[in-house]
Each structure stands twice: as structure tokens, then as C-alpha cells.
Structure 1
Amino acid sequence: MRLFATGLLLFMAAAFIVLKRLAVLHPEWSGPLGYAISFTEAAMVGGLADWFAVTALFRHPLGLPIPHTAIIPDNKDRIADSMAMFLRDNFLTPQVVARRLKGFNLAAATGAFLSDPARDEQSRIRAGAANLLADVLESLDPEQMGGMVKTGLRRQLEKIDAAPLLGQMLTSAIADRRHLPVLESVLRKIGEAIESNEPLIREMIHQRANSIMRWTGLDERLANGVLDGAYRLLAEVIVQPDHPLRARIDEALAKLAEDLRSKPETQAKVERIKNELIENPAVAAWLDGMWERTRAALLKAVRNPDKALSGALGESLAQLGQALGDDARLQYMVNRFARRTLVGIVSRYGGEIVRLVSETVKRWDARTVTDRIEGAVGRDLQFIRINGTLVGGLFGVCIHVADQLL
């Protein structure tokens, strides 16, 4: 389209030269040729003016630093802020989100998509949404996005009152006897640890025994007795559900659960441990790795949605979609949860999302911004030049007619 618009302008210039030459060679044709000459003359002016206008938006015409040209590159940061403000005011306010979601049955639409994702309409929607999501994930700055995710997770972890939650979980586990497999596993691990460190235990007993015990060999018998007794005790606790040590352990766990729920000293210790874990660099590295793995998995899934929705996962999602499509009460619950969740996300993170968009655009170099905006507008820019050439020619003819009449 750029070549066509430029070619049309050059054609008008060539036609102007040819027509002027014909008017000199054939004066008797000056009347009819006058209209054509006026058309080509005004078309050149209109085409050049619109070429200058379109070019001035994105760069300096002919590389000359003419004032008020290269408007978009020079105002890149202001455009980024305007885009972010537009996004915030029209999409990322709780009122707008709630209004847009009101009356929209998200659960039914999701159910229809999950129950029959192979339909042509659903396939097009899935492909378009997948490409859009992949482009968004790839265009956003990974470090800043990862930092935003980590900040959000950290804030949520800091808000959690861990001690009462752990106490309630432990109380429920003891009441339902769900702690027994964990207890038995811990006892087995203790037995394996003792077995793998038998030489070290024997050496410790040997070093602490007096010389008489070592001379008489009683230290070895003592080590055998200690190890055998430990193995026997662990085995009895594992196989006997009513073993007294189990009752002691249950009592200790129940007391710990009660302290976690109601004892300020224990709660303060758990809160201190939680904060130390959050501040630990290893946890930050784990969150970094978790975000990168999640991002890579999301990109892989959205780039190949058909494969992601196949197999057992696809069957499970189809069953979920069928339930969403048939159960009105489930739809109501899902839609209400989705509305509250999205409104809550926008309320908490809308400002950060807007700032992320603004800062991402600001980090682009001027050429990147220019190329992306020019590519987004596309052919219409060249139609401006084409229309300017043709409309300018028509006005030239009108001016020539008015000149002849006057």
C-alpha cells in the first residue's frame, strides 16, 4: 500500500509533465487539457501534503528535524501514560468490571467451551484467545511481572495468621485420624536413620564407656541392647494402634494444636518463623523458579491448546463443562465467585497492572513504538495518502471550473 500510494503520486507528477508538454505542442487542446492539468497539479499538492502529514506522525520527513514532526516517538512516554489511563478508566475499575460482568453468564459460556472445545466456533475462539494470551505473556517484562507476582504472593502470605490456621488443620487431622500415616512414615524414617548410622552410634557408645566396659566387651553388648531396643520400640509403635507412646504423641499434638489456636506465645513464635521464611533468600529463589515454571507451562499450553485439552485432562474438563452447562445453581455460584474475584483483583492490583503497561511501553525504544503503532493502523495510513491525492485532484478541477466561469 505504501508503494501504491507513492506510485500514484509519481504517476500524477509524470502525467502533469506530459500534459504540460502537450499543451505547449498543441495549443488548440489547451481547453480540455486545462482540466486534466489542474487535476494532476492539485493531486500532487494533496498527495504531498498527506504524505508529509502521515510521515510527520512517525518520523522526520526526509530526515529533516522540522518542528512538530516525529510526533509519536517524541511523545512516547506521554502516549504510554495515556494508554495506561485509558485502560484504567475503561477496563480496570471495579465499577466497570462489575457492570460488564452483570448479566454475563460466564459459567455457561465456560461450560459450553469445555464440553465441546472441538467445534469450529470454539476452536477459533480458543486459538484467538491462546494467541492473545501468549503475546501478552511474551510482551510483558518477565522480571517485572515476576516481581509483581512475588510481591502479591508475599503480601498474601504476610496477611495469613498462620498459627490458628495450623492449629485448626492439626485438630481436624487428629480428629479424622489423618495424621497416622504421617506419624508412621516419620517413625519409619527414624528407624532408617538409626540403621544407616549404626556404626556412628556404636562408636559414640564405645567412646563414652569406661575402660572396664571396653575391656570386658560390655560396651558392645550395651550398643546392641540400645539399638535392638530402639528398633523394637519403633516397630511396636508402628504395628500397635493402641500403643501407649501413640497416645502420648496424640496428647502432645493435641496440646500443640490448642497452643497454636489460643496461646499468644506460641502464635508469636510461629509468626516469627513465618516472617523469617518469607525473608529467606531461598524462598525468594523458590518463588522466582515457581513463576518461571508457571510462565513456561502457560506459554506451552496456550501455544498448543489442542494438546493441552486432550487425554484424561480433556475428559475431566468436558465433564466439568457439562456440569456447568446443566446446573443452574452451580452457574450462579461460579458467576458470583467470578464477579467477586475479578472485582477484587481489579481493586487490589488494577493500579499495578496499569503501571506495568505504562512502564513496559516506556521501556520500548522509539522505533519499536513507531513500528508497532504504524503496523496496527496499517493500510489506512496509505489510504489517507491515496485519498489526499484523488480528493486534491477533484478540488483542483473544481477550482479550474470556478476560474473559467469567473
Structure 2
Amino acid sequence: MRLVATGLLVAMAGLFLATRAFDHAHPAIGYVRAFAEAAMVGGLADWFAVTALFRHPLGLPIPHTAIIPRNKDRIASTLAQFLRDNFLTPAVVARRMQRVDMARAAGRWLADPGASRGRLRAGVGRLAADMLEALDQERLGGMAKRALADRLRALEIAPLLGRALATAMAENRHRPLLDGIVHWAARVLDANEHMIRTMVHERAGSVLRWTGLDETLANKIIAGLAKLLGDMAEDPNHPLRAKAEEGLAQLAHDLQHDPARRAQVEGFKNELLDNPALADWWLGVWESGRAALLRAARDPDRMLSGELGDALRQLGETLQSDARLADTINRFVRRAAVGAASDYGDGIVRLVSDTIRGWDAETVTGRLENAVGRDLQYIRINGTLVGGLVGVAIHAVDALL
């Protein structure tokens, strides 16, 4: 564009010289000459104006030229303040984020199997795998184990267990547990009949053994226990079940309100946390989880083709269809963006200002000229043509007068 603008200026100069030789050949030649003369003036004036923005025209230190290099630091401060006042204020960010539907955009990305393919997913997978492999696994596992243990030690679990048990009993969700205990006891009885018979036989007197009454007594005991368990299984209001429920209700109350019971549970919890076997188990779980994460990171296609992929796609569909969930996520994203603008806006604009101040004058000039230089050359072209038209108008007025 610079060559076009300069070429047009040279063409006007050539046209001006050519028309001087034929100035009296025809009255119309005067209009052409006036156009070329005024076009040269307009083109030269706009060339001077455009050049003066970035450098000294013809290298001459004319006052008020090379404006951008001389005011580099002031431009940096003004640009930074412009960004701060018009883009990074919480009000502007909040207004902009009102129009951003981040939840449904994420939902579309998750729901479309093809949307998660490509270099982005592969790059994220490689980054995750490299990070997992670079970390000290023993130290990281130990840190995670200690963090979990500290959280569990600080958490008093007895009241939580008590409230959970009380809530389950209030909603009759404890009855399947009692049914399971009764059925388990019946299976234990069936599997250990011989043990009961042996115990009765060994403890019976010689008379009972000689008469065979020990066998009869063992049968009666087994039959009575079996009938008792059967009645408990069939009758939800059996007295023994009621006694068991009373015991569970008392346990729920003690877990919440009895200091001795709560201290007993806390002691058991701490003993369990101090058990080396639990630490070994946790490290094994951690290593298994890390290995699974590494496999998933190295092969994201396989990971997303299984249950995790189905879960992600279902999540994406939910984000698109559930308006309440989408609004909640969008509200969170909006608040996070506003908070980031409030907390880090000054740092961002300071980065812009310091970066521009750190450039030398030639760098600033070159980057700005590359950004707007094409339009500036159009200014030269327009100045040449408009100047020519003004020259024609002035010549016409002069001819008429």
C-alpha cells in the first residue's frame, strides 16, 4: 500500500509536468493540470502527516514529528489506563459475562464426541501424564495420606454416625439391615448345627447320653432357634426386633449426646488411623488410582469410549437441558471472572504498561505501523485524490470569475 500511495503521488507529478507542455492546447488541460497540482500538494501533505507519526520526515528533526517514539511511555500509561477503565472493571466484566453461556457451551463440548477430539485433548492428556510422572509419588502419596488422616482426626464422627442412624430409623431404612442380620443368623445356624449338637452332647450327663435325650435336646434347641429367626424374619413387629430397634435408637442417642460413647468412638477412630495396615492400604489405593490416571491420560480415546465417556456425555446433555444447573454454573463463572478482574486487573494493566515501556522506540514504531499502516496509506491515497478534486473546484471557480 505504501508503493501504491507513492506511485500515485509520482503519477500526479508526471501528469503535472506533462500538462505544462500542453497548457494552451485546450481549456480542459487547465483542469487536468489543476487536478495534478492539487493532488501533489494533498499527497505530500498527507505523506508528511503519516510519516510524522512514526519518524522524522526525510530524517529532519522537525518539531512535533516522530510522535509515537517520543511519547512511548505516555502511550503505555494511557493504553494501560484505557484497558483498566474500559475492559477490566468489575462492572464491565459482569455486563459482558451476562451474555456468556459458559455452562451450555461446556455441555455442547462434552455431549459431542467429536468436540473433545484433536490436539487439545491429546495435549492435555500428555501434560497430565507428564505431571503425574514428574511428581515424587512417595512424597505425594504421603502428603495425601497425612492430609486425609489430619482431616479425619479433626472430624468428630460419632455425632455424624448418630444423626445418620437416627435419620435412617426415622425413614425405616434400617429395616433391610435388620432383615439381613436375621437371614445371616439363620444361615449361620444351618451351617453350624453339628457344633450345637456336639456342645449339647459334651455337656449332657451320662444318663442323658445313655438314653439319647441329648440328641432330642439338641434338636429342640436348633428347632427353637430356627423358629425364632423365622418368626423375626416374617414379622416386622416381632418383640425381639423391637428390642433391637430400641437398642439402635439408644445407640443413635448416645453417639450424639453421651460424652463417654463419643470418646469411645473417637478412640477407636484414632486407633484405626494409627494402624500401619490402614496406611499401607491407603498407599495401595493411591498407587492404583495414580496408575489408572496415567492410563487414562496416555489413552484419552479409550478412556472416553467407556463409562467415563458416557458419564461426560450425560453431563454435557444435563448442562444443556437443566436450566437451573446451567444458571448456577454461569453465575459461578461470572462471579469468578468479576473477582479475577477486581483482584488482578491492576496487575494485568501493569503488565501491559511495563511491556510497552520495555520495548525500544523502533519496536513500538514497527508494531504500530504494521497494525495500522495499511489504513494510513489509504489516507495518503485519499488525500491525493481529494486534493486533486479540490484543485479542480478552485480552478473552475477561477475560470468562471
Place the TM-score, normalised by the shorter chain, in its bin: 0.5 to 0.7
Partners of 1:228 and 1:338 in 2: CA distance:
67
**Which of 224, 244, 258 in structure 2 is aligned with 1:249?**
244
Partners of 1:187 and 1:283 in 2: CA distance:
31
Asked if structure 2 preserves the Cα contact closer than 8 Å seen for 1:261 and 1:267, the reply is yes
Partners of 1:332 and 1:154 in 2: CA distance:
36
Distance 1:307 1:339, change over 3 A: farther
Asked if structure 2 preserves the Cα contact closer than 8 Å seen for 1:113 and 1:122, the reply is no
- The superposition leaves residues 143-193 of structure 1 with CA deviations (integer Å, 9 ceiling, x where unpaired) of 111111111111121122111100111111111211222221122222222
Partners of 1:286 and 1:169 in 2: CA distance:
26
**Which of 219, 239, 264 in structure 2 is aligned with 1:224?**
219
**Which of 166, 173, 176 in structure 1 is aligned with 2:161?**
166
Equivalences for 1:4-403 in 2 at 5 Å? Answer: 107-108=103-104, 110-119=106-115, 122-325=117-320, 327=322, 329-331=324-326, 333-334=328-329
Shift in Å, 1:326: 5.1
Distance 1:187 1:130, change over 3 A: same
Partners of 2:249 and 2:237 in 1: CA distance:
17
SS in 2 for 1:118: helix
Distance 1:171 1:237, change over 3 A: same
Partners of 1:339 and 1:166 in 2: CA distance:
38
Asked if structure 2 preserves the Cα contact closer than 8 Å seen for 1:205 and 1:219, the reply is yes
Partners of 1:338 and 1:218 in 2: CA distance:
80
Aligned residue pair count: 240
Shift in Å, 1:108: 5.0
Partners of 1:310 and 1:336 in 2: CA distance:
31
Unaligned 5+ runs, structure 1: 1-100, 342-406
Please tell me the root mean square deviation across aligned C-alpha atoms, in Å: 2.8
Asked if structure 2 preserves the Cα contact closer than 8 Å seen for 1:114 and 1:317, the reply is yes
SS in 1 for 2:114: coil
- The superposition leaves residues 210-262 of structure 1 with CA deviations (integer Å, 9 ceiling, x where unpaired) of 22222222211111111111111111111222222221111111111111111
Shift in Å, 1:325: 4.0
SS in 2 for 1:178: coil
1:21 maps to what in 2?
A: none
2:380 maps to what in 1?
A: none
Counting aligned pairs with the same residue, the percent is 48
- TM (normalized to structure 2)? 0.55
Asked if structure 2 preserves the Cα contact closer than 8 Å seen for 1:205 and 1:223, the reply is yes
Shift in Å, 1:327: 4.4
Aligned AA (1:243): H
- TM (normalized to structure 1)? 0.54
Aligned AA (1:113): W
Partners of 2:163 and 2:275 in 1: CA distance:
26
Unaligned 5+ runs, structure 2: 1-92, 337-401
Larger radius of gyration: 2
Partners of 1:308 and 1:318 in 2: CA distance:
13
SS in 1 for 2:118: helix
Shift in Å, 1:123: 3.2
Partners of 1:116 and 1:181 in 2: CA distance:
42
Distance 1:112 1:293, change over 3 A: same
Aligned AA (1:165): L
Distance 1:334 1:154, change over 3 A: farther
Distance 1:307 1:332, change over 3 A: same
- The superposition leaves residues 40-66 of structure 1 with CA deviations (integer Å, 9 ceiling, x where unpaired) of xxxxxxxxxxxxxxxxxxxxxxxxxxx
Shift in Å, 1:278: 0.7
Aligned AA (1:115): A
SS in 2 for 1:242: coil
2:397 maps to what in 1?
A: none
Partners of 1:132 and 1:303 in 2: CA distance:
10
Aligned AA (2:283): D
Partners of 2:164 and 2:335 in 1: CA distance:
26
Partners of 2:250 and 2:333 in 1: CA distance:
40
Shift in Å, 1:337: 7.5
Distance 1:336 1:297, change over 3 A: farther
